[in-house]
Structure 1
């Protein structure tokens, strides 16, 4: 497919170079996500081994169904539910901060810049849902799981990149991260709207009162974890008992934090708190959720069932085909109708590879699978197996496409990171700065002078050696 061509001088770059602050933020965020993704991958493998080794598989079911918590507060939950409803609230809290930052200080603050990732993310969620529904309508299956293949797991995707040793240029990394942020927003809305029933309005009113108090304390500049952590736990407990999924409390509190910097501030409160909480989310909350949710049977019969049952086949095709077609098609359409021109350093197959990589759906897909088929434990496990298999297929396809371009990506990444004048700013961001070129001129002049000195030294040494050889030759035997 040919790239859309600009029609006038106001054409914009699609997936162009990031600003320097955005480049640094994206780099820090993705490094943290990559570490978390590797831990997530390890936890998922451990869960699969635990659930499929006959000698210990029974203990897996026993452990994750073990109940703990105060029953008088309506919180006598299994470990699996504590992981899904409690620990994932921390994950969604961080997602809320990321979303708030993108809206007020990142790419999403500019409507024109936000159009591309928003359109791509929407198409990347709508097309997998349509694929799932079509498969199940034609196969006479349940359409309840339409939302399962709509989510992207950025941490798992980055873990795959880390494992295969492939680097992405900053523009593609930022695009993938922004896609995931928008994806998380719509996943939260889906959970809130479609998986909420039997609302307890008294508990919900209490949760909203707690959120209002949380917001008021933030605006008054009250500090201290000993104030906010107990309040957050109360809000979470009330939200859980209201019937609304408890992770909504996490994202709501994350969205309330200020993510803009004031005079004299090096980091906003949202950035500081995200920096503190992200390790807890990526290093503990999400891996524990994976440990208690990803343990499904992967026998030959179970794997065959994934490709024959419409619900599970719809999940696999939604992740592998729907995500790729949706994100790539949405990106191309956004470029076509916003007069954007693809960055000359990239090609449309690069966008296709990232779209395929976004087909790795894990954390939120597993959560939605549990919610969609809560009344059918067998089908829940089969859908989880479909998520794992679909994500694996998407990862393999993406890895093949990315590996074909890895040499090009490495060259682009090295150019983005080169800092020959050692001032802490990549050279590519100083091309139009006269002071940079003067510094580089001095550096090259010093290098040239050093090479001249070395040349003179080597020449003198060579002459002395030659003279010594001549004298030795003239000396009588």
Structure 2
């Protein structure tokens, strides 16, 4: 008797192998970035179509639990709720870098950390200079400070076929420190009307979360309800709810005990990352990037001081801050650039860091919660990020051709005598040119 094969339905669950394949794809920066980009394009098309009223209706629809202070619009659920999952993954990545990654020793972390700090300070200064000279508001000074990890790594992954792996490590470290800075800025400068009782409850929940990790308590039934409660308390405290996500990510253990196949942080990141990349961040982009794009709106980006400051901060400020900060640190301190990299690589990476999509949009919403100025700021973030991505693609493509040519030369030299150069005495090292 033959066993009946399961029927495939249009709206049913995918078979397990296909679900596994989709999840693995979403764990890669390329696919995650492309999904994010697709969501942003859909948002722009929808918001500028004859169905724009439907877009606004869906975005502003409220639901939740009013008794718990959680009656939010769809846009706020994505920005305060789903984006907390993205920051949970970012917090785990930061913890891993601090414990076993590039940030574990000062010598290896110095340059990307300095680059990240300068890449935050200079864009803020550029915005402030433009806003002051144009008589605009200083409220958006933090908008151009953020680098979007998902987009930046996706662009690098698409471009990079022969670029050195040290370039990705530099960008990842820079972006992680940048995200930590953005979280601190949100917590310190965009928090008002603190509810100290709720904040104390959130802190107590985090202490309990730490204790469960400290005593090696396992089981999702402990952590999911506790994490949800911490998030709700953090939201009601007045502190932006995404801080709860990064705090729990930093608490999760990222080292393995004897007999463990993976650390708790690695397991959570492996499970949650596909949902973050495939659902949470794209939905945030869908309801945050839907701005009206018209000739008049684009004109505001280059005439009003606030959006112009954001645009120049992303496109000019990031390059000046990251490249000059890295160069001066290598020139006047003991910090050294990775020998696999050239300064042209750093310049391309500095341009790439001007992609400030996700977190820049979030800070823009916090800095300009109401009015048409918020739409102009969003347009400036989108145009600035797109400009930075195109310039970086051109620059890094040229560097990729240089490294491909060097690789081909190495291949020809190895094929000449059948012995790889690295095994020959006196083999000449070919660094980047």
Q: TM-score higher than 0.5 here?
A: yes
Report the equivalent of 2:34: 38
- What is the match of residue 402 of structure 2? 408
Tell me the alpha carbon deviations over residues 66-106 of structure 1, each in whole angstroms, 9 at most, x when there is no partner: 00101111000000000000001001111111111111111
Number of the residue aligned with 2:373: 379
Length-normalised TM-score, structure 1: 0.78
The reply on whether 1:82 has 2:77 as its aligned counterpart is yes
Normalised by the size of structure 2, how large is the TM-score?
Answer: 0.86
Structure 1: 5+ residue stretches without partners: 1-27, 421-426, 434-477
Which residue of the partner structure matches residue 177 of structure 1?
172
SS in 2 for 1:222: coil
1:347-397 Cα deviation digits (max 9, x unpaired): 2111101100000000000000000011x2311111000000011111111
CA distance in structure 2 between the partners assigned to 1:101 and 1:234 by the alignment: 25
Q: Secondary structure at the match of 2:95?
A: helix
1:91/1:286 contact within 8 Å kept: yes
For the pair 1:197 / 2:192, whether they are aligned, the reply is: yes
User: CA, structure 1 residues 112+415, in 2 after alignment: closer, same or farther (shift >3 Å)?
Assistant: farther
CA distance in 1, matches of 2:408, 2:151: 24
How many Å separate the matches in 2 of 1:74 and 1:413? 59
User: Shift in Å at residue 401 of structure 1?
Assistant: 1.0
Structure 1 match to 2:5: none
CA contact (8 A) 2:69 2:236 kept: yes
Do the aligned partners of residues 413 and 291 (structure 1) sit closer, same or farther apart at CA in structure 2, a change above 3 Å counting?
A: farther
CA distance in 2, matches of 1:167, 1:31: 21
Q: Which of residues 399, 402, 406 is equivalent to 2:393?
A: 399
Q: 1:345 to 1:100 in 2, by over 3 A?
A: closer
2:263 maps to 268
Unaligned runs of 5+ in 2: 1-23, 425-433
Aligned to 1:237: 232
On the 8 A contact 1:100/1:259 being kept in 2, the answer is yes
Q: SS of the counterpart of 2:293?
A: coil
Q: CA–CA distance in 1 between the matches of 2:178 and 2:262?
A: 26
The structure with the larger Rg is 1
What do you get for the CA RMSD once the two structures are aligned?
2.6
- Rounded to whole Å, the distance in 2 between the matches of 1:30 and 1:284 is 10
Deviations 1:165-219 (A, max 9, x none): 7653201011111111000000000000000110001111111111111111111
- Equivalent residue, structure 2, for 1:206: 201
1: CA distance, partners of 2:340 / 2:169: 15
Between the two proteins, the alignment pairs up a number of residues equal to 396
Task: Return closer, same or farther for 1:412/1:119 CA change in 2, 3 Å cut-off.
Answer: farther
Distance in structure 1 (CA, Å) of the matches to 2:407 and 2:356: 26
